[in-house]
Amino acid sequence: SEQLFVEMADRMAAEGWRDAGYEFICIDDCWMAPTRDKQGRLQADPKRFPGGIRKLADYVHSKGLKLGIYSDVGSKTCAGFPGSYNHYDLDAQTFASWGVDLLKFDGCNSESLDLLAEGYRRMSVALNRTGRSIVYSCEWPFYLRPVQQPNYTEIKQYCNHWRNFYDVYDSWSSIKSILDWTALHQDTIVKIAGPGGWNDPDMALVIGNFGLSWDQSVTQMAMWAIMAAPLFMSNDLRHISPEAKWLLQNKEVIAINQDPLGKQGYQLFKDKNFQLWERPLSDRAYAVAVLNQQEIGGPQKFTFSLTFLGNGLACNPACSIQQVLPASRDCGVYSWMSSLSLEVNPTGTVLLKV
């Protein structure tokens, strides 16, 4: 409801979320009335959004924040509300007139892959035609993938970020499956990511809910930073623990995630216990993540040669290493040929800046 989004905007402004860089509040499916109005325009559910979306957008903007909204490329949204098919220009103009700053465009109920692709292209053009700056979040490759390999070069021409894989759930198995999928497909998806277009391993950071342990929460935050993922929280900011807040607002991790070079990280190494990931950063730095995949037992030691990193260049001739997560500490200066030993909790991750 309108009230929920107002309360979230208040929290984001008052409790440091906006200052940490979280600037969008996004409405997902089910915000609409079941039918369009007499002019054919989408309208908000009158009971739950009595002031309409324009009023809500004005309120969100007054807090120094931006508003995101949801629609669908097909005839209906995933939940059965009116979709944008045959209304792309009208819907783009409507969203712009309301002061919307982001559109999440889903891919349900499209009759064919050709219509799906045409719809994503047409909505992109329609949004640009409004003259308003609106971030365009697509689900295009996710709906293509079962049938054909997405053309990411084309998708990036039209979209600002794009979903590749299933919805995230508030569970460790969901986070794990997203990481496994990303590693498996990194040869095709990593190279396309960069300023203006990003792989979206589903919007939601589920940190601050119920399904993840502390170590698993650390893993999600660290790995979303490595993957250059858009950071969207799916949680209730009225009931969030101080620990979860500390993690989600961690400036060092957010700086890695938002690094201006804009390169996505990738998995370097995997055995039955550990994964080693790296992400090139600006100023010849690297973010490095070591994930302990084991789900039983206590902390395990992982030792690796620093020559592994950055094609052998990250520590040549020497490098300083800073641990970012699970806690910030200085690890010291290392020479090119040395090894690093880390202790990592089960399902936990140690995130480093090299």
Out of 19, 37, 58, 167, which one is annotated catalytic?
167
238 and 275 in a common domain = no
Residues 34 and 105 in one domain: yes
DSSP 249-307: T-HHHHHHHT-TT----EEEEE-SSEEEEEEE-STT-EEEEEEE---SSS-EEEEEEGG
Q: 249 and 120, same structural domain?
A: yes
Calculate the dihedral angle through the C-alpha atoms of 98, 200, 23, 238, rounding to the nearest 10 degrees.
100
Q: pLDDT tens for residues 98-145?
A: 999 999 999 999 999 999 999 999 999 999 999 999 999 999 999 998
Q: Measured on CA atoms in the order 196, 201, 207, 209, is the torsion positive or negative?
A: positive
Number of structural domains in the chain: 2
- Among 91, 106, 202, 259, which one carries the catalytic annotation? 106
Q: Tell me, yes or no, if 170 is annotated catalytic.
A: no
Last residue of a domain, one of 258, 274, 301: 258
What CATH number should be reported for the domain holding residue 183? 3.20.20.70
Active site residue 106: yes
- Cα distances from 171 to residues 26, 207, 211, 218, 319, in angstroms, run 22, 10, 5, 13, 36
Domain with 322 in it: what CATH number? Answer: 2.60.40.1180
Look up the domain containing 281 and give its range: 266-353
Indicate if 287 and 191 belong to the same structural domain: no
Q: Do 39 and 61 fall into the same domain?
A: yes
Q: How many CA atoms lie less than 13 Å away from 196 in the CB half-sphere?
A: 8
Which H helix or E strand runs over 98?
helix 88-98
Phi, psi of 164 (to 5 degrees): -110, -20
Rounded Cα gap, residues 242 and 217, in angstroms? 13
Do 217 and 284 fall into the same domain?
Answer: no
| Final residue before a domain boundary, out of 215, 239, 258 | 258
Contact 314, 286 (CB under 8 A): yes
Q: What is the pTM of this model?
A: 0.96
Report the distance separating Cα 296 and Cα 100, nearest Å: 46
Q: What is the largest CA-CA distance in the chain?
A: 72
Of 352, 343, 299, which Cα lies nearest the Cα of 324? Answer: 352
* Confidence (pLDDT) at 69: 98
C-beta separation of 269 from 40 below 8 A: no
* Structure confidence at residue 49 (pLDDT): 98
Asked if residue 90 and residue 176 are part of one domain, the reply reads yes
pLDDT for 240? 96
Q: Are 351 and 323 in contact (CB under 8 A)?
A: yes
Domain end residue (candidates: 230, 258, 286): 258
Residue at token pair 């089960």: 346
pLDDT in tens, 169-224: 999 999 999 999 999 999 999 999 999 999 999 879 999 999 999 999 999 999 99
CA dist 320 and 29 (Å) reads: 46
Do 87 and 232 lie in one domain? The reply is: yes
Chain Cα centroid distance, residue 277: 18
What pLDDT score does 65 carry? 98
Which segments in the chain show pLDDT lower than 70? none
249 and 163 share a domain?
Answer: yes
DSSP 116-135: HHHHHHHHHHHHHHTTS--E
Does residue 113 sit in the same domain as residue 247? yes
Residues 112 and 50 both lie in one domain:
yes
Do 139 and 228 have their domain in common? yes
